[in-house]
Amino acid sequence: MKKKNLLLGLLLLFGVSMTNVIANTTLDINGVVLQGQEKEYAKIDTSDVPVDVLRSISAKYSGYSLDEAYLSDDVEYKVVLTKEKTKITAIYKATGEFVKEA
């Protein structure tokens, strides 16, 4: 019985660890597996953020000021917004489509 429980425990542990590996795995355009790579953003001037993104920010985050802006290679904008003591980082596509809060 102990061997059976040990085997079940090991299989469960293996399954959980494989789920984590799969969740953090992506493929590049050549089909090469990339482990948990995060998107890189380069800092840009806030005046370089497209009007569509600014409109979307204004609609979603009324009263927030745009403090910092970053651009990724695939043209997503990461913006740092503040309102009083609250700081938010949000991601937008160039079209102004909200992606997520980071």
Of 60 and 39, the structure prediction assigns the larger pLDDT to: 60
Question: Which domains does the chain possess?
Answer: 41-101 (3.10.450)
Task: Say if CB 28 and CB 57 are below 8 A apart.
Answer: no
pLDDT tens digit string along 20-36?
A: 444 555 554 555 555 55
Q: What is the mean pLDDT of the chain?
A: 80
Q: How many degrees, rounded to 5, is the angle at CA 21 between CA 19 and CA 24? A: 110
Taking 90 as the threshold, does the pLDDT of residue 49 lie above it?
yes
Confidence of residue 48 (pLDDT cuts 50, 70, 90): very high
Report yes or no: 53 and 78 within 8 Å, Cβ to Cβ. Answer: no
Place of tokens 């991601």: 91
